[in-house]
Amino acid sequence: MENSILYVDGEISYVEVYDKALSDDEINSISEKVDSNSDFTEIRTKALQDGVANSWVLIGDNSTSGNGVTYGYKNYVEYFEERVRWELIGSPMINRERYVINSGVDGSDSESINTNFDKWVAEFDPEIVSIMIGGNEKGTAEEFEANLKEIIEKSREINMLLKK
């Protein structure tokens, strides 16, 4: 698979960070832990329910902010917002009350996002937070994992749909 480009066409419901390449047996043991009926389906259903206004914060680095990487095209946050606010089936007036906030910051990493979480995410009181990071990491895999876990925990502490 060296020099291969892989694309995901579907949903990701489980993520772990490793500091080494995994063997086939290790990968297979992980896939047995993944619950295909994850919270993702419940979140998606609640978030896109007709008649429900909500806000989404997409946090990340250069890939999220879209500065300098789009070659004149929309960044993925703009496409996402267009889909959520204008193209989904449902009441057009309610769909327009689904706010997508681009909190991508060029050069940010998991540490800076964790440090600035209150002003980049929490102040918007979102129902959903999407995290896309990893391209600017400077620390160890352990530091990245610890920061990511803390960002996820902070996300759950605010008004999240995942919160039970």
Asked whether residue 74 is domain-assigned, the answer is yes
The pLDDT of residue 38 is 59
Residue 113 belongs to a domain: yes
Residue 76 has pLDDT above 70, yes or no: yes
Minimal CA–CA distance to 126: which of 103, 150, 94? 103
In which band, very low, low, confident or very high, does the pLDDT at 164 lie, cut at 50, 70 and 90? very low
The answer on pLDDT for 162 being more than 50 is no
Q: Is residue 15, in this structure, part of any structural domain at all?
A: no
DSSP characters over 107-156: T--HHHHHHTHHHHTGGG--SEEEEE--TT--S-HHHHHHHHHHHHHHHH
Q: Does a structural domain hold residue 40? A: yes
CA dist 52 and 96 (Å) reads 10
What pTM was estimated for this model as a whole?
A: 0.66
18 in a structural domain: no
Q: What is the pLDDT of residue 62?
A: 84
Give pLDDT, residue 8.
61
Q: Is residue 59 part of a domain?
A: yes
Question: For the segment 35-69, what is each residue's pLDDT rounded down to a tens digit?
Answer: 555 566 666 676 777 667 778 899 998 888 887 66
- Parent domain of 49: 24-157
Lay out the sheet containing 128-132: strands in order across: 98-104, 54-60, 128-132
What Cα–Cα distance (Å) separates residue 125 from each residue in 73, 91, 93, 96, 115? 29, 23, 21, 17, 17
Structural contact between residues 113 and 151, judged by C-beta atoms closer than 8 angstroms: yes
Question: How many domains is the chain partitioned into structurally?
Answer: 1
Average pLDDT, stretch 10-19? 68
* CATH code of residue 92: 3.40.50.1110
* Cα 113 from Cα 156, distance rounded (Å): 15
Q: Decide if 1 is inside a domain.
A: no
pLDDT at 163: 46
Question: Between residues 9 and 24, which one has the greater pLDDT?
Answer: 24
Indicate the length of the chain as a whole number.
164
pLDDT digits (tens, 9 = 90+) for 94-145: 777 778 889 999 889 999 999 999 999 999 988 888 898 888 888 899 999 9
Residue 136 lies in a domain: yes
